[in-house]
Every structure is written in C-alpha cells, then in structure tokens.
A = this chain, B = another copy of it.
Amino acid sequence: MDIIEYRNHDRILLAVDCIIFGFDGRKLQALCIKRGIDPEKGRWSLMGGFVDCNEDVDTAASRVLKQRTGLADIYMEQLYCFGDVRRDSAGRVVSIAYFSLINIEAYSEQLQDNHEARWFDLEKMPSLIFDHEQMVVIAKKRLREKVATHPIGFALLPEKFTLPQLQNLYEAIYESPLDKRNFARKILSLGILNKLTEKEKQSSRKGAFYYIFDKDKYSALEQEGLKFT
C-alpha cells in the first residue's frame, strides 16, 4: 500500500491521553483511572489508548474516551504531542494529549458503574504514571488561556447555572478570588447569557437566578473575538 519512499522509515506506537476536567461547584477536578495493563498496572493514569492505523487521531481520542468512561459528545481539544523517547518506560510510544470539559453531575451515572474511574480534586491529585502529571499541568495552563477568550467554561456547568456558580468556576480555574460585582457586570455585558425566572434555592435562603448560555448570541459575536475575564 505505501509507496516505496515511505517503506524504510520507523513506525511508532501512537497513543492518545485525555485530561478530563470536571467541576463540582467548588473545585476543579480531573478524572483518573486505575491502569489495567503493565507496565505500571494499578497506578493512577489519565484515560489513554492507542491510535489505530485507520482512524483519525481526533477520532481515536473520542473513541478512547468513550471506551474508558462511557462519555460521548463532549468538548475535546487537542493539547500537545508528547514525544520523548523515554516517556513510556515500556517502549517507544508517542502520545497526543487531549483535554475535555464535562459537567460532573450530568455524567455521574455513566461513570458510576464504570471502569475504576475516579474524580480527583486538582489540588489533591495522586501520583500519575509516565509524564501524565506534566500533561495535567499543561492542560491547566491551556484551560486558563482558553477560557479567557472562549466560552468553553459552560461545558463544565449544568445547562442552568447561577452567577455565583459561574463565578466559582472562574475562581477555580484562575485559582484566585474575583469581585462579584465586577464579575457580574463583565459577564452580563457580553450579552450571551439569558436569565431565567427560576431560582436555585439549595445553596442560599434568598436563592439565585438561573441563567443559560445563549449559543446563538455568542456565535454572532464570535467573529470579532472577545474577552471573558
């Protein structure tokens, strides 16, 4: 199948690893899995798997995520290629890392029955295999950069969310507190949130109004490029 000029080159195992971020309302979390194969069997790891010869790398990332967690149709973005010779102790494996954002509650059932997967608070992560800790560091950095200019953070929240919840999310991502008046003004001034009449009443006596993200209004603005926080 391959033509002659390609024949004499090395072929390499290609993997994908997914950093899956979740948000529990207070802290950012990452989903880890107990590794089922040697080497390092039994240690914590990101969701990983190998890329097949006849599938796109992006497709492989989605497939691996689905196989390991049951999750499908979630936000995924390529992060970085990790290609050091010795990154995997058992052989040459180049890994393309992806990161995903999901709403923990909406997917908690799929995850429950499943696959030794567990959420860890980002500040209390276990030791991970290979270079997976480095992947998490880079993913956190990328998430911070991305969320400042794109409305991807909403993927971490339920469809209906309150301003305090949204602010908690940004505070968790930036790891620093925000002024609620400035935050509300800035985020509402973008005009991409729709206020509902319904209130969330669990977390306070007074209750906080729900909002939903208006994808259409955002798309209209998207062209000129915008600032979030």
Contacts and interface: CB of A to CB of B under 8 A. Distances in A.
B50 A10 contact: yes
Interface string A48-91: 00111111111010000000000000000010110111000011
A12 B94 CA distance: 10
A42 to B, nearest CB: 13
Contacts of A53: 10, 12, 92
Nearest to A51: B12
A9 interface: yes
Contacts of A12: 11-14, 51, 53
A72 B39 CA distance: 37
A220 interface: no
A10 B52 CA distance: 6
Contact of A56 (B9, B39, B58, B83): B83
A1 B86 CA distance: 13
B83 A96 contact: yes
A83 B51 contact: yes
A109 interface: no
Contacts of A84: 56-58
Contact of A81 (B11, B38, B39, B78): B78
Interface in A96-136: 96
A110 to B, nearest CB: 26
A14 B94 contact: yes
A139 interface: no
25 contacts: A2-B90, A3-B39, A3-B91, A4-B38, A5-B37, A5-B38, A6-B13, A6-B90, A10-B14, A10-B50, A11-B13, A12-B13, A14-B94, A51-B83, A51-B94, A53-B92, A55-B85, A56-B83, A57-B83, A57-B94, A58-B83, A60-B83, A78-B80, A81-B81, A83-B96
Given A4-B38, A12-B13, A12-B53, 13 more contacts: A2-B13, A2-B91, A5-B90, A6-B13, A11-B12, A12-B12, A12-B14, A12-B51, A53-B92, A54-B85, A56-B83, A57-B94, A78-B81
Interface of A: 1-6, 9-14, 37-39, 50-58, 60, 78, 80-81, 83-85, 90-94, 96
